[in-house]
Amino acid sequence: MKKIFLDTDIVYDLLAKREPHFEAAAAIFSMIERNECTAYISSLSFSHLHYFLRKLRGRNESIVILQKLKVLVRILAVDEKVIDLSLLSDFSDFEDAIQYNAALIEEVDYIVTRNIRDYRKSKIDAVTPDEFISIWKSMGQLKKQPGSVAPKQKK
């Protein structure tokens, strides 16, 4: 089973229903829900997500949303080793360095992000959500099952 690291923006696209990115994020989370891949996020992402969701939905709803998210993803620690590697890295954005090094230690197969250029120095393939879905389809991995973790968008 492929291991993917989800950058915070992808998770936030789903949870905040941000257009035009919501659909691709929802498709990836459907794959995760069907156990087609294993998803990882860093503990740093949880902190950022709570901050943004709290502003959108309030503290209580934010906590409920993050509790549901926690069931679907595995959380990678941002520990001393990750920080040390990040401080020594040549990433221009320190937060990206932290995310990358947490993913690198876990030996994930892909980093899924909308900010590919932030990971140009990555030893892990960094792909957009649409690219990941295309890769998955070409590998014959995407199952044809309805359903989504996320609520349907209102039209």
Domains of the chain: 2-138 (3.40.50.1010)
| CA–CA gap between residue 75 and residue 91 (Å, rounded) | 22
Is residue 19 pLDDT above 70, yes or no? yes
Task: List the structure tokens of 17.
Answer: 């229903």
């993917």: which residue's tokens? 4
Chain centre to alpha carbon of residue 52: 15
| CA–CA gap between residue 66 and residue 51 (Å, rounded) | 11
Is residue 154 pLDDT above 70, yes or no? no
Q: Which of 10-14, 52-56, 146-150 has the lowest mean pLDDT?
A: 146-150
Percent of the chain with pLDDT over 70: 90
Task: List the structure tokens of 153.
Answer: 């968008």
Give 121's pLDDT tier (boundaries 50, 70, 90). Answer: confident
Determine the residue type at 149: V
Average pLDDT over residues 74-96: 95
Peptide bond into 146 cis (omega under 30): no
Average pLDDT over residues 25-48: 95
Is residue 51 pLDDT above 80, yes or no? yes
- CB contact at 8 A, 102 and 77: yes
Is residue 5 pLDDT above 70, yes or no? yes
CB-CB neighbours of 111 under 10 Å: 26
* Average model confidence (pLDDT) across the chain: 89
> Which helix (H) or strand (E) is 2 found in, with range?
strand 2-6
Average pLDDT over residues 131-141: 86
Collapsing DSSP to helix, strand or coil, 152 comes out as coil
In 3D space, the residue among 110, 139, 144 whose CA is nearest the CA of residue 34 turns out to be 144
**114: which DSSP letter?**
S
Is residue 152 pLDDT above 60, yes or no? no
